[in-house]
Amino acid sequence: MNEIIIDFKVISCSICLDDYNDKDTYKTPCNHSFCKRCLDDWFSRGNKCCPLCRNEIDEYKDMDKHYKLVIYVHEKITTDTPNRLIVNSTQRLVAQNVRLKLYSVVSLFILGVYLFNYLSFVNDYNSMKLEYELCSENTTDLKNRLRLLANIDTHKHI
């Protein structure tokens, strides 16, 4: 019977000094090898360089696959961070409250201006309508008087 023997090289990590097999290794572009746990921890601390030679790392190799290195820097959380977050949230809420009150006052002012203009228009309309009606009555009255005078003048000449 044929047996298949897979042989992994045992390598010692230069960070933790633990032995690991070739399968559990990350290889940097500068050809240094580290165990996955140590190099992940190294990268999670925001480091972008090789732990041995300090060359900058922008990618690494894992089982013949190349991976780009992307580091996200998180704000360090301290004991006063929750208090700072509460203060920032409170300041934001106060600022939003002030803006809302300002918008309300400005909106009420604009509404008042529109209402004043509308009431002025209605008042002007009613005044002009009354003047028109009076003018129409006066015109009819004047026409009747003019006819009457015209009739009187014609009777005098006869």
Radius of gyration of the CA atoms of the chain, in A: 47
- In the prediction, which pLDDT does 81 show? 56
CA distance 147 to 133: 21
- Which among 49, 8, 10, 7 is positioned nearest to 32, based on CA atoms? 49
- In the prediction, which pLDDT does 71 show? 60
Assign residue 64 a region: left if phi > 0, alpha if psi is -120 to 50, beta otherwise? Answer: left
- In the prediction, which pLDDT does 103 show? 95
> Taking the CB of residue 45, how many other CB atoms lie within 10 A of it?
8
> Taking the CB of residue 20, how many other CB atoms lie within 10 A of it?
20
- In the prediction, which pLDDT does 110 show? 96
CA distance 139 to 156: 26
- In the prediction, which pLDDT does 117 show? 92
User: Which parts of the chain are beta strand (E)?
Assistant: 10-12, 19-21, 25-27, 33-35, 59-62, 65-68
Q: What is the pLDDT of residues 47-62, one digit of tens each?
A: 788 888 888 877 766 6
pLDDT tens-place values along the chain, 158 residues long: 566 555 555 567 777 877 766 666 777 778 887 788 887 888 777 778 888 888 887 776 666 676 676 665 555 555 555 666 666 778 888 899 999 999 999 999 999 999 999 999 998 888 888 888 887 777 777 788 888 877 776 666 55
Helix (H) or strand (E) holding 88: helix 81-157
Q: What is the pLDDT of residues 119-145, one digit of tens each?
A: 999 988 888 888 888 877 777 777 888
- Which among 40, 39, 6, 38 is positioned nearest to 23, based on CA atoms? 6
